[in-house]
Amino acid sequence: MSASVIDGKAIAADVRASVAKAVSQLPGQPSLAVVLVGEDPASQVYVRNKVRQTEEAGMVSVHHRLPETASQQDVESLITELNADDSVDGILLQLPLPKGLDADAAIEKIAPDKDVDGLTEVSAGRLTLGKPGLVACTPTGCVILAKRALGADLSGKHVVVIGRSILVGKPAALLFLAENCTVTIAHSRTKDLPAVCRTADILVPAVGRPGMVKADWVKPGAAIIDVGINRVDAPEKGEGKTRLVGDADYADCAEVAGHITPVPGGVGPMTIACLLRNTVLAACARRGWNVPEGL
């Protein structure tokens, strides 16, 4: 068996197109404010991509940049100002923050109705209780990818999520549970982890360990939604060169799985696409607009 590749780039492009179509039907332009603190090169690239894709979708992008020397009060004061700015629908605090700053405390300053990353305690609580709210982008992308591979109805599928982080593992488990899946959260203390993984119709590794999942961990025909993004040495590309790999050993697992996301080009592109979608949903909820069909 050779797995079908779940093309995250193409699916993310579809989501962005649906967002752009929705924006064109709204009575106004949703606005996303991105806050970048410091000089982290990777964060700068991520922010540029978010700003560009926000504008391409027809929305307003507001970019705030604070220096590496910014204090906790500087960051939280800016977030408070954005909370009070009625023209701003979504607030994204780019992580990681420079050393010495408390990201959790800063995130908690974001108004829940503008929490387009779905990371505040209120957002997490709404998800846990099954109430409407903004949901973390990466887990949302995982569910969309699984549906594209297996069909819109995931009822009865057994999902094994490897990892219990508040960023991906726990919210992913809750989102699949809401799709009427049977969900197991596995982690470093799980007994006989490979055997647990072999029971999964949908396997979601999200632990940050390159190539951890091998073919003999995979149920034949299962779908693998690989959240891991790990940079490893790539001497074949030249001295000092690196490449990105997932938590699943792609070449090995592709021989057994029915569907698999590549790294890069799988879950990653979905995160920004779902951020844009959340911004539209936040704008509609805040401004009393009807959510356009197909979003």
Tokens representing 88? 């701003």
Q: Are 8 and 261 in contact (CB under 8 A)?
A: yes
- List Cβ neighbours of 180 (8 Å cut-off, separation of 6 or more): 154, 155, 156
Q: Rounded to whole angstroms, how far apart are CA atoms 107 and 89?
A: 16
How far is 55 from 189, CA to CA, in rounded Å? 44
Nearest to 173 by CA among 295, 165, 212: 165
Positive or negative torsion for Cα 86, 280, 228, 124: positive
d(CA 75, CA 36): 9
Catalytic residue among 117, 201, 226, 247: 117
Nearest residue to 141 via CA among 204, 67, 207: 204
Q: Which helix (H) or strand (E) holds 182?
A: strand 182-186
Q: How far is CA 199 from CA 196, 203, 259, in A?
A: 6, 9, 15
Answer yes or no: 99 catalytic.
no
53 is catalytic: no
Longest Cα–Cα distance in the chain: 56
| Active-site residue, 44 included | no
- The DSSP line for 23-78 is HHTSSS--EEEEEEES--HHHHHHHHHHHHHHHHTT-EEEEEEE-TT--HHHHHHH
Among candidate residues 7, 94, 115, 226, the one labeled active-site is 94
- Report the 10 Å Cβ neighbour count for 97: 23
Active site (catalytic) residues? 50, 94, 117
